Amino acid sequence: MSSFRKALKSKQRDHKERSQLGFRKHLGLLEKKKDYKLRADDYHRKQKTLTALRKKAMEKNPDEFHFKMIHNQIKDGVHIIKPKEEEMTEEQKKVMRTQDIRYVEMKRVSEMKKIERLKSELHLLDIDEEKKNKHAFFVDSKKEVEEFDLATHLNTVPELVDRAYNRPTMETLENKSIVGVVEPEKIKKLTKQRKNQYEVLSQRIDREKKMFIICQKIQTRKDLQDKVKKVKVRKETSTAPAIYRFEARRKR
């Protein structure tokens, strides 16, 4: 009999909700049960959310602290996240991924030798043009001030007056027969060459500093591989590696 009832149920017609009657169409679309069910579920979900938020606000601790309070702030009603300091530049990442510490150290030593050679050639003369030394000359009257000629007083040619070094006198220039060397065009050319050499020296010094920082960072990462307790003392920056304090161990 049970199998017979199941067979009958399989052939039963599904109940379908009756459509709106013609005389009620002036009321518009009437809500069906499935529509009511969706609206009721949405209403109860919103009520539960409001209740939970109300409870959270009532039980909130006014002295509560969160670490994001340090890095975030509200300015003119807008939530702003403070930018973090860059720990490593893209150049440092690329070198540390592709090169070994021995290669970087070798290039750093090579740069140091080139820097020493450039320093010995240039003698660091007039490296800072903004901070030039001043030489004051004293005279007895205003008339002497008006008639004062610096080239005559220094006993040299006018083209060499602005130079703070290698400023030979007229007798030296005549004895060595190098008066023609101090032409304005040649002086400008030599000044430009010296300026270019100082720029090259500055670039090499910056490159050597960057390589030294990369070597320190690579060595720090190698030291961290040891299974020794350590505590970070200072965070890593783009200009310095991270500093750790390792647990002291007695060597056997």
Q: How far is CA 42 from the centre of its chain?
A: 48
pLDDT for the residue numbered 166 = 63
- Whether residue 237 is contained in a domain is answered as yes
Does pLDDT of 179 surpass 50?
no
* Cβ(148)–Cβ(139) below 8 Å: yes
pLDDT for the residue numbered 180 = 47
Average pLDDT of the residues of the chain: 78
- What's the domain range around 171? 90-246
Mean pLDDT of 179-192: 63
Other residues' Cβ atoms within 10 Å of the Cβ of residue 111: 20
Mean pLDDT of 219-231: 84
Q: Give pLDDT tens digits for 21-37.
A: 555 666 667 778 888 99
H-only helix segments in 11-100: 33-58, 68-71, 90-98
- Whether residue 42 is contained in a domain is answered as no
CA-CA distance, 93 to 142, in Å (whole number)?
66
CA dihedral 80, 81, 85, 89 (to 10 degrees): -100
Query: How many domains are contained in the chain?
Result: 1
CA-CA distance, 150 to 155, in Å (whole number)?
8
Whole-prediction pTM: 0.46
Pairing verdict, β 243-246 and 78-81: unpaired
Q: Give pLDDT tens digits for 231-242.
A: 888 888 888 888
Q: Give pLDDT tens digits for 194-212.
A: 788 888 888 899 989 988 9
- Whether residue 119 is contained in a domain is answered as yes
Integer-rounded Cα Rg, in Å, for the chain is: 42
Mean pLDDT of 14-22: 66
CA-CA distance, 70 to 84, in Å (whole number)?
11
Alpha carbon separation from 91 to 68, 102, 210 (Å, rounded):
30, 18, 9
pLDDT for the residue numbered 47 = 96
> pLDDT grade, residue 189 (50/70/90)?
confident
- Whether residue 170 is contained in a domain is answered as yes
Q: What type of residue is 134?
A: K
> pLDDT grade, residue 181 (50/70/90)?
very low
Does pLDDT of 6 surpass 90?
no
pLDDT for the residue numbered 218 = 87
Tokens 């240039």 correspond to what residue? 122
Indicate if the alpha-carbon torsion angle 157, 159, 165, 166 is positive or negative: negative
> pLDDT grade, residue 48 (50/70/90)?
very high
